[in-house]
Amino acid sequence: MVIPTVRGRPLVTRRFLGAWLVLVATLPGGLRSYFIRDQIGITAWNPGEMMGVNYRTYHHAAELALDGQSFYDTAPSAAFDWAVYLYPPGTVPLFYPFTLVGWETGYAVLTGLSVVAAVVTTALIVDYVESYGPALGWLDVGLILLSLVISTHVFGTIFFGNINLLLALGVVFGLWALERDREVLSGATFGTVALFKVFPALVGLWLLRRRRLRAVGAAIAAGLGGLLFGLVGFGPDTTVHYLTEVLTGRTDTGAFVGGYPVDGTYYVTVQQPASWLVAALWPDAPYGVIFGVSTACIAGVVAYFYRHVETPIERQMAIFVTLAAMVTVIPSLRWYLVLLYLPMITLLYLWTDGYSRLLFLVGGVLLSATISAEAVVEGLSGLPEPLYSVGYALGGSAVLPLYGLGLMVLGCAWYKHSLQAVSGQ
């Protein structure tokens, strides 16, 4: 049978059923989010209130900076009090060009740039995967692109006008460049991404594990260079305020003390179950204990995957666990899960058999079940005791995507253990 091709790439090269399942699973939640809102959709575009609120903070901060005013702790007019600028001073000039137009137009431009970033990210992911052997068809390319544009992991980035897709491109490009031994370019990219969100700095653990010291140096130089640029451009007081007030207040750490509430902000973080465990043993424990327990658990998992990284699958698993740790060690919104796409998708296509892979696939599907903990425990309310108490503890102490990540990491650990048992390592 002749397989149809478009510009040299077949529509389907082989049946990657597991990969298709996980990628398709990302779409229903995103499509539903668009469908239930009348502000955004195929024929609707009405920015205001929550729609575009993150972009409005960028736009407003840039306008204030151009006027020589303080751009921290100030929300745009008719916006929510929490809609304030959270990035280092040196990043504000990047938004200056957007002030040439109104915020609604600027938001549309940023959305267009995010879609372009999704296209470029798709191309890099496909090239990265194919460099390990699997040939992808246009169906694979299309599913990856759709997952980067309309999935449940991306909807919030588009709707709120955030820069997460641009940062995801940075993470993917950094790993793509590292694979091609372009260490300085890779490190500089990671350092720039970390300048915005801070927690991507944990990618440095993988750079150190691989002994890519030039990449580490470039990452540090990029990060410090961005801070220095802000120091020179806006003065020491603004940078000190960012480091001591803005940066330290970016997460709602106090909410975790005593056990994170079921109806709290939707975070995908190990700190949520850790807070319940700590509260059961020490109800008045300070937040530092919760953070310490979370960090210790994650550090142990990462260390296990860093022990042996000789095979391509082991390296991708180590990268995946690194990025999963990066996202979950702090209280992270679910929109950051898109940062895991490169190693996750690579494993979906490179890892083709074994029961451990089935666990990874189940976790991958659960990763897109973005139902709140509150909705889960409400759905279990009809269960008799003690089933309800058990269900409440499980459903309330973590969101489903965190369980999905846990299953994916467990599947990777199972594979790694089996591989080491066979090789006698």
User: 315, 128 in Cβ contact below 8 A?
Assistant: no
DSSP character string of 158-169: HHHT-SHHHHHH
How big is the chain, counted in residues? 425
Give the residue among 295, 250, 301 at the shortest CA–CA distance from 269. Answer: 295
Angle at 300 between CA 299 and CA 302, to 5 degrees: 65
User: 82, 52 in Cβ contact below 8 A?
Assistant: no
Verify that 227 and 343 share a domain, yes or no: no
Domain endpoint, select from 250, 274, 302: 250
Verify that 267 and 215 share a domain, yes or no: no
CA 161, 162, 163, 168 dihedral sign is negative
Q: pLDDT tens digit string along 298-329?
A: 999 999 999 999 999 999 999 999 999 999 99
Verify that 278 and 161 share a domain, yes or no: no
Domain endpoint, select from 225, 250, 275: 250
Verify that 258 and 398 share a domain, yes or no: yes
Assess if residue 382 is contained within a domain: yes
Token pair belonging to 176: 């793509």
Verify that 75 and 190 share a domain, yes or no: yes
Verify that 267 and 209 share a domain, yes or no: no
Verify that 213 and 186 share a domain, yes or no: yes
Verify that 306 and 418 share a domain, yes or no: yes
Verify that 187 and 202 share a domain, yes or no: yes
Please give the single-letter amino acid code of residue 339: L
Q: Which structural domain, as residue segments, surrounds residue 382?
A: 251-425
Task: Give the residue carrying structure tokens 């002749």.
Answer: 2
User: pLDDT-based confidence at 285, cuts 50/70/90?
Assistant: very high
Domain count for the chain, please give it: 2
Assess if residue 1 is contained within a domain: no
Average pLDDT of the segment spanning 204-221: 97
Task: Give the residue carrying structure tokens 């990449």.
Answer: 215
Q: pLDDT tens digit string along 367-409?
A: 999 999 999 999 998 899 999 999 999 999 999 999 999 999 9
Verify that 397 and 307 share a domain, yes or no: yes
Q: pLDDT tens digit string along 155-193?
A: 999 999 999 999 999 999 999 999 999 999 999 999 999
Indicate the burial class of 27 (C-beta count within 10 angstroms; 0-12, 13-18, 19 or more): middle
Assess if residue 380 is contained within a domain: yes
Q: Looking at the predicted structure, is the pLDDT value of residue 2 above 60?
A: no
Predicted local distance difference test score (pLDDT) of residue 425? 57
- Name residues whose C-beta falls within 8 Å of residue 176's C-beta, 6 or more positions apart in sequence: 124, 127, 128, 342
Angle at 403 between CA 401 and CA 405, to 5 degrees: 70
Token pair belonging to 412: 């990777």
Assess if residue 5 is contained within a domain: no
Long-range contacts of 276-281 (CB under 8 A, 24+ apart): 276/393, 276/396, 276/397, 277/397
Token pair belonging to 272: 């949520």
User: 140, 16 in Cβ contact below 8 A?
Assistant: yes
Q: Which residues are 195's β-sheet partners?
A: none
% of the chain exceeding 70 in pLDDT: 97
Q: Looking at the predicted structure, is the pLDDT value of residue 110 above 50?
A: yes
Assess if residue 2 is contained within a domain: no
Please give the single-letter amino acid code of residue 83: A
User: 152, 201 in Cβ contact below 8 A?
Assistant: no
Assess if residue 3 is contained within a domain: no
Angle at 226 between CA 223 and CA 227, to 5 degrees: 90
Domain endpoint, select from 250, 281, 307: 250
Assess if residue 197 is contained within a domain: yes
Distance in angstroms (rounded) separating the CA atoms of residues 67 and 64: 5
> What's the distance, CA 386 to chain centroid?
36
Verify that 230 and 262 share a domain, yes or no: no
Verify that 175 and 246 share a domain, yes or no: yes
